[in-house]
Amino acid sequence: MAQGLRTVLGLVQQHGQLCVYWTLNYGIEEPALRMHLLDQLRKTRPLVLDPADPTWNVGQGSWQLLAREATALEKQICHMSGAGTAVEPWDVMPALLHQTPARDLDRFISDFLQPNRQFLAQVNKAVDTICSFLRENCFRDSPIRVLKVVKGGSSAKGTALRGRSDADIVVFLSCFRHFTEQGIKRAEVISEIRTQLEACQRKQQFEVKFEICKWDNPRVLSFTLTSHTLLDQSVDFDVLPAFDALGHLVSGSRPESRIYADLIRSYSVPGEFSTCFTELQRDFIVSRPTKLKSLIRLVKHWYQEVQSKKMPKGRGSLPPQHGLELLTVYAWEQGGRDPQFSMAQGFRTVLELVTQYRQLCVYWTVNYSAEDKIVGEFLERQLQKPRPIILDPADPTGNLGLNARWDLLAQEAAACAKALCCMGIDGAPIQPWPVRAAM
């Protein structure tokens, strides 16, 4: 109940962005109703349509006094947990993607998806804390040396979503002298990192809460970091030990082909050693235009909305989010590489490619190419496998289209393509860029 009330008060405070309606009694299939809804959505917010009468905006009126009272009530004891901390609201936005007109998608991203500076500073402070711990504390009494620590994931690429306070840290260690050693010694290293984190906790430097891992040989140490002196909120971390395959690679240069030849000889599971190429994965996205990163945020937000639904039972899970990120880059590249493109067209194109998953064959040769015999023969074998194929541009063993429920994602993409977020001012569908599903 406390969470529910806290959520409603938060929405009241965001009244200037409210766009709420239902289509259980009226929908957008009928042209006149569709045009009426579009007209309503062009009006000044707040918009709260009566679910029985689309002509009645019950959000009209002055919200300022109500918002002030909501702000005051948030600070009262009815919103405090037993531990004395504020109750967290549900993750609810004042407007939904599929109910947002296509012309407003840029504003939707800036209002709801783009992290604010305070949030980014908070995550960066937490990352610096863990990086310092890994360099200075973790292997102080051990022959193991930390060669480098690299920030990965969406926060490093510039595609993080607002409120998603997670961070990936890859620590490259001297005890891994080859890809295979990473697999053999990883569990031992993760155990040592955990022991040292617990020692820091006993010294009250910070608090950590670990996720229980069900694997005998885990590839990642997941935990939540809390510090009452350093941080305003907790931050979720994944720390991944890795073999330093690339060494001190100059930014923008291509790795030596022998590195990929060794990788191909060593791997047994697709993408098993992808963490070794974190810097290349990060740089592949970092160099892209700001608006493309915004489109990636929008696609990720849609993907996470799909994830939150109760999916039909069946074998397999949805494709990995990283695959959708790469598919977005491919859509933009093949769609003309315009740095100031139409957001609705870009989004519509990604949805269209998802529905064509049975034909997808997407890859890049920025970091590896067919010039080397071993790499070339391996690439040829990869590209002969059943579609969909989306090869990681940093790791050719990682096919992100493999063994996933693309059929479920395609159903959701087809439905979203008919929503208001993919319709023009005249109510006509937005046309995707003329992009082929295979290169």
Beta bridge partners of 240: 170
Specify whether the CB–CB gap between 78 and 2 falls below 8 A: yes
How many Å apart are CA 150 and CA 136, to the nearest integer?
15
pLDDT value, residue 84: 64
Does residue 287 share a domain with residue 417?
yes
Last residue of a domain, one of 93, 113, 133: 113
- Closest Cα to residue 340, out of 291, 285, 299? 291
Distance of CA 59 to the CA centre of its chain: 32
**322 occurs within a structural domain:** yes
Q: Give me the number of domains the chain comprises.
A: 3
How many Å apart are CA 124 and CA 117, to the nearest integer?
10
How many Å apart are CA 222 and CA 203, to the nearest integer?
21
- Is residue 407 predicted with pLDDT exceeding 70? yes
Q: Which helix (H) or strand (E) holds 120?
A: helix 117-136
Does residue 418 share a domain with residue 286?
yes
Average pLDDT on 328-355 reads: 97
User: What is the number of alpha carbons within 13 Å of residue 203 lying toward its C-beta?
Assistant: 8
Does residue 109 share a domain with residue 41?
yes
Which CATH number covers residue 374?
Answer: 1.10.1410.20
pLDDT value, residue 313: 66
For residue range 263-273, list pLDDT tens digits in order: 999 999 999 99
Average pLDDT on 394-409 reads: 94
Does residue 408 share a domain with residue 296?
yes
Does residue 399 share a domain with residue 287?
yes
Identify the domain containing residue 44 by its residue range. 2-113
How many Å apart are CA 175 and CA 110, to the nearest integer?
44
Specify whether the CB–CB gap between 276 and 244 falls below 8 A: yes
**297 occurs within a structural domain:** yes
**264 occurs within a structural domain:** no
**428 occurs within a structural domain:** no
pLDDT tier for residue 225 given thresholds of 50, 70 and 90: confident
**97 occurs within a structural domain:** yes
pTM of the predicted model as reported, rounded to 2 decimal places: 0.92
